[in-house]
């Protein structure tokens, strides 16, 4: 069975910005997505996000403004058990980490190494992420507010495609 993500095109909360490929602007709020399992999503809803202990950008909560990217996670996990958590993030101060070995790649949040940032952003197609899609890492989980859980959707009955620009499922029957 082929699955597709169901997402609405409802209005965004006041002051929240939708998907874009440009660097997040410091101090703004953005819709982002976090892919996980159903069970982990329930835990996150109950207790909020927790910082990971490590990762490409060091510790933090890994998110993307790209629903297609988040929907791939967790990798090598059955599709039927994957969900995406839709959130609003106050990104605070943002640093672009645009290459492997960047001097602040894992220390962007640590004052011992210079200026402190709240969010690290990996631009699309910079060579750091195999998919070529953008990624964000937020240091403080309290900057993240959950909007809803997005689950797999099979109700189309035909060929479905996801239009990221407007968050609609478009179905064409063959």
Pairing of strands 4-5, 61-63: unpaired
pLDDT score at 89? 96
Residue 115 Cα distances to 50, 52, 107, angstroms: 23, 22, 10
pLDDT score at 166? 31
Distance of CA 104 to the CA centre of its chain: 21
pLDDT score at 105? 97
pLDDT score at 141? 98
pLDDT score at 14? 55
CA 172 – CA 170 distance, rounded (Å)? 7
Q: The whole model's pTM is what?
A: 0.78
Q: How confident is the model at residue 76 (pLDDT cuts 50, 70, 90)?
A: confident
| pLDDT surpassing 80 at residue 160 | no
| pLDDT surpassing 60 at residue 53 | yes
- Cis upstream peptide for 65 (omega within 30°): no
pLDDT score at 155? 54
**% of residues, the chain, pLDDT over 90:** 61
**% of residues, the chain, pLDDT over 70:** 75
pLDDT score at 77? 87
Fold category of 4-172 in CATH: Phosphoenolpyruvate Carboxykinase; domain 3 (3.90.228)
Tens-digit pLDDT profile for residues 94-112:
999 999 999 999 999 999 9
In the predicted model, what is the mean pLDDT of residues 132-157?
87
CA 133 – CA 67 distance, rounded (Å)? 10
For residue 102, give every residue at least 6 positions away whose Cβ sits within 8 Å of its Cβ, in sequence order, or none.
none
Tens-digit pLDDT profile for residues 13-41:
555 555 455 778 788 999 999 999 999 99
CA 4 – CA 84 distance, rounded (Å)? 12
């Amino acid at each position: 069975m082929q699955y597709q993500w169901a997402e609405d095109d409802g209005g965004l909360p006041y002051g929240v910005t939708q998907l874009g490929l440009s660097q997040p602007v410091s101090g703004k709020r953005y819709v982002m997505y976090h892919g996980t399992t159903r069970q982990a999503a329930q835990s996150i809803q109950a207790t909020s996000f927790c910082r990971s202990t490590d990762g490409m950008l060091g510790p933090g909560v890994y998110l993307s403004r790209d629903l297609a990217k988040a929907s791939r996670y967790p990798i090598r996990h059955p599709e039927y058990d994957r969900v995406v958590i839709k959130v609003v993030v106050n990104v605070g101060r943002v640093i672009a980490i645009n290459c492997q070995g960047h001097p602040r790649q894992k220390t962007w949040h640590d004052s011992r190494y210079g200026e402190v940032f709240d969010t690290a952003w990996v631009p699309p197609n910079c060579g750091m992420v195999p998919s070529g899609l953008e990624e964000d890492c937020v240091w403080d989980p309290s900057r993240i507010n959950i909007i809803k859980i997005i689950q797999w959707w099979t109700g189309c009955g035909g060929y479905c495609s996801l239009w990221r620009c407007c968050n609609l499922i478009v179905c064409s029957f063959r």
